[in-house]
Amino acid sequence: MKGGSKYQPLLDYLLRSDRPEVTLTFAEIEAIMAEKLPESARTLRGWWSNRSKGALQATSWMNAGFLVAALDLDAGTVTFRKPPTQYIVKRVGDTVIWHSELIKALRQHMQLSQTEFAEKLGVRQQTVSDWETKVYDPRLSTSKHLTIVAEQAGFKYIEDPEAD
């Protein structure tokens, strides 16, 4: 198909949107695409994951600056949301305190899977998953490494004005 994948019309639709959040039914997405979604889109949460490799559908919404923020397979709806362009951080001394939302935002900013991000940091994929699901927070030494990685990746954050 000239002009991109069959998901190009979804990309174009989201690019034209001036809203930070867009909720669509599966039927509305199919109307935008003028094509049926695959059955896996209706039954598998993983189909809607925000992954940068091997998923043309995810590439379409991610290239438009959106992530899937909510999915209701029973109702057949998906909510796309633009992530913040800046995050507020707290520090202990000169060390940024990394928490689940901040870690996930950095990984998504870098367009890496949990496995790829773990490899970059020298930790296990399960460790990244545990951070992102609030099982535990990274150690201070790991936080310093995350800060270096974030700076190299051009990930923007600002100091919490209410800190101290």
Which pLDDT does position 113 carry in this prediction? Answer: 85
For the chain, give the mean pLDDT: 88
Instruction: State how far the Cα of 26 lies from the Cα of 143, in Å rounded to an integer.
Output: 40
What single-letter DSSP state applies at residue 57? Answer: H
Domain ranges in the chain are 8-81, 87-159
Instruction: State how far the Cα of 24 lies from the Cα of 109, in Å rounded to an integer.
Output: 24
The yes-or-no verdict on residue 55 having pLDDT over 60 is yes
Instruction: State how far the Cα of 74 lies from the Cα of 56, in Å rounded to an integer.
Output: 23
* pLDDT tier, 14 (very low <50, low <70, confident <90, very high otherwise): very high
The domain made up of 87-159 has a fold known as: 434 Repressor (Amino-terminal Domain) (1.10.260)
pLDDT tens by residue, 60-88: 998 888 889 899 999 999 999 987 767 88
Length of the chain counted residue by residue = 164
pTM for this predicted structure: 0.59
Which pLDDT does position 2 carry in this prediction? Answer: 42
